[in-house]
Amino acid sequence: MKLNMSKIMFITIIVLSSLTSFSVNNWLTMWILMELNLFMFMPLMTKKKINDQTLKYFIIQSLSSYILVFSMLWTSMKINSINNLLTMISMLIKIGMAPFHAWKPELMNKINWNECFLLTTLIKITPLILINKMISFKLLILPLITTMIMSSFSGFNQLSLKKMMAFSSIFNLVWMTCAFSMNKILMISFMTIYSTLNWKMMKLFKKNNLIYKNQLILTPLKTKISMNLNLLSISGLPPLMGFFPKWIVINEITKNSMLMSFMMIMTSILMMFMYIQMNTFSFTNFFMTKKMNKLNENKTFMMINLINFPMMMLIWMN
């Protein structure tokens, strides 16, 4: 009971600190909120003792924080170009965007689905807000394009569902960053829809104890349909719920950068192909069962013919 209450307390603090960051303008306060999230999330990852993944996560997040504080020292010296670059690097490390993304899929592969949900939604809110408040969007274009290309290609060869969801999360970070650069309300709407779909998806994975892609074959038909609709919605397939915020973002981003909008559309098609591939894979067993039933019927018919053949031979000989 104590463990459950402590988990509830940690999650509540993460939720409150993430929501508080929307109304904060001071970088120091936002840094404190990010560190608070770090120290609340670490006990959720730790079961009985500190494991390797918890230690790696702490080191990566601490490194990111040190770079951020160091960049603020450069601000006092009025060297804005170095300050912006260091701030961008620190935040890219913290939320796991390319080229500093390698830790995120590996970490998600080792933690449970509840922790995966927190890592892909609430914990990245404060760094995203800080990115959009302190860094010029023009400076972000190259990392954003790199992130889209990397995540859209990396998801294809993954067998682990947690790693696939990690790359999906990294890909959607780009959309959230673009949404926030245009309108805070649009970013909140996008984040709410994405979090809802992500929660439903991970809840289905957890309920059916799914970890690898080949386990999708064994799920019931009702679960397959629900899962596939959620995946297609996350991919932004019209007219599902996930399509509308992406459509608004594309309309707005086209006015500022045609290259960015083109890359977002092309990489989204690649990500959609990955989701459709998962859908096709999950229904493999359903169609194979039908084929096996037909094969069994054919086998029965062949057995009847084989039994009748000696009897016909005996009748003919008599």
pLDDT, tens digit (0-9, with 9 covering 90-100), for 117-167: 999 999 999 999 998 888 888 889 899 999 999 998 887 778 889 999 999
Is the bond leading into 105 cis (omega within 30 degrees of zero)? no
**% the chain with pLDDT above 70:** 84
pTM equals 0.84
Q: Which residue ranges make up each domain of the chain?
A: 2-282
pLDDT, tens digit (0-9, with 9 covering 90-100), for 9-46: 999 999 999 999 888 888 889 999 999 999 999 888 87
* Owner of token pair 């809840």: 203
Residues of the chain below pLDDT 50: 1-2, 290-318
